[in-house]
Amino acid sequence: MNVQQIKTVAVTGAAGLALTLALASCHGDGGNAAAQAMPRPLVSVVKLHPQVVPVTAELPGRVVALLEAEVRPQVSGVIQQRLFVEGAEVKAGQALYTIDPASYQAARDSAEASLQRAEATIPAAQARAARNSDLIRLNAISKQEYEDSVDALALARANVATARAALEAARIDLDRTTIRAPISGRIDRSALTPGALVSAGQPAPLTTIHQIDRVNVDLSQSSANLLDLRAAIDAGHLVSANGGVPVRLRLENGAAYPQTGELEFGESSVATSTGTYTLRVTVPNPHRVLLPGMYVRAIVEEGIVPDGYLLPQRAVSRDERGEPVALFVRAGKIEQVILQGAREHGNDWLVTQGLREGDAIVVEGGQQVHAGDAVASTEVVIDAATGMVRAAPASDRANAAAAATATGTAPSQANRT
């Protein structure tokens, strides 16, 4: 290779090296520009605003009749008739059964005769005592004889009182041969039929009457929930309900009961075996839908949160420690917030601390971002009936943009578009 060829090769190699460096430089500048032009992740957010939130608790309960009376005979005998229709409504004092009254009629007649006999002794004893009263003043009889006549009159009067009481007892027993309803209400089936022998005070009732035009519902509440409720009231996060506390019921089939009840009282002690205490609710039952023994669930209003935030359930998850957390967009970046004191409230989470007016909570796109990431956001709303996410009204987006401008915060890419 001569000198001229060596020069040519050197020039060619230098030119190629320069071209390679130039291309590399171009690729490097293009990569940086592409990286700078890469859009931020887009997330959907819901703006939060404080509101007055009624706090409710859903408790299990059983329906109990307002009044319940077991019908038992108060005299012994054979049942002659059943005078009611099983399952029907009866009135207090209505005749239900008749027991053979023959022996009790005879006892009453005998007591009446005894009273007449006792009353017949009164005139003679009274006359003797009056006569002796005159004679004793003349010293015509002894004092002992006078006192005996006075005692005889008192004894005759006492015999009359005794006979009159026996007659009244016999009359009561005769009246009890007709067994009457002690209360008004719906009567159950009859345990015995006519011809059956019954005895006074027997342990088995003939039938039972339940007054169910209004019913009681006994609810069970854990003592731990009671302590949490009182702590929230003391901390000012919850305002206790004043006056009557309304209670709504949900039936066994999931249907809502149309009538609203009222909390009557709570027991003053906790059951040691279950750690619960009992609340009693009284509920109107005009159509007899609620029957004793029926299982229901009661929604009890415990109080009111004056400034609460309702967070969609889809936006809340739990961290490795099991605490509820949510992602928020603040100053254009993702921030993970632990929701202190959060509790479930229907389809939402109720939070009373740690949030601010207008906070933007991430409801979509949170899986692709992490705390500290810069993001673009678009405001949406969640349909309360269906749970579907849809775009926020234009007026809401305009208000959000105006608020961002007033605070010096750059609007999101979605709002700028």
**What is the per-residue pLDDT for 178?**
97
Would you state the pLDDT for residue 34?
47
Instruction: From first to last of the 417 residues of the chain, give the pLDDT tens digit.
Output: 444 443 443 334 444 444 444 444 444 454 454 445 567 889 999 999 999 888 888 889 999 999 999 999 999 999 999 999 999 999 999 999 999 999 999 999 999 999 999 999 999 999 999 999 989 888 888 999 989 999 999 999 999 999 999 999 999 999 999 999 999 999 999 999 999 999 998 999 999 999 999 999 999 888 887 787 677 667 665 566 555 678 899 999 999 999 999 888 877 788 888 888 888 999 999 999 999 999 999 988 777 888 889 999 889 999 888 899 999 999 999 999 999 888 888 788 899 888 989 999 999 988 888 889 899 989 998 877 777 888 877 655 544 444 444 434 444 443 333
What is the structure's pLDDT at 271?
83
What pTM was estimated for this model as a whole? Answer: 0.65
Strands 376-382 and 42-47: what pairing? parallel
Q: What is the DSSP annotation of 250-296? A: E-TTSPBPSS-EEEEEE-SS--TTTSEEEEEEEEE-TT--S-TT-EE
Please report, to the nearest 10 degrees, the dihedral formed by the alpha carbons of residues 105, 107, 111, 112 taken in order: 20
Model pLDDT, residue 162: 96
In the beta sheet, which residues pair with residue 200? none
Of 47, 29, 76, nearest to 399 (Cα)? 47
Q: Between the CA of residue 390 and those of 380, 382, 384, what are the distances in Å?
A: 6, 6, 11
pLDDT attached to residue 80: 96
Q: Which pLDDT belongs to residue 354?
A: 86
CATH 3.40.50.2300 assigned to domain 101-176? The reply is no
* CATH number of the structural domain 42-53+307-416: 2.40.420.20
Who's near 78: CB < 8 A, 6+ residues apart?
A: 99, 100, 195, 196, 197, 198
Answer for the pair 209, 48: CB distance below 8 angstroms, yes or no.
no
In this prediction, residue 288 carries a pLDDT of 93
pLDDT (0 to 100) of residue 228: 74
Domain ranges of the chain: 42-53+307-416, 55-65+214-304, 73-100+177-204, 101-176
Q: What is the C-alpha separation between 76 and 201, in angstroms, rounded?
A: 9
Task: Report domain 55-65+214-304's class.
Answer: mainly beta
Residues 73-100+177-204, CATH architecture: Beta Barrel (2.40)
Contact in structure between 297 and 57 (CB atoms under 8 Å): no
Token pair for residue 47? 């703006």
**CB of 316 within 8 A of CB of 323?**
no
pLDDT for res 39:
79
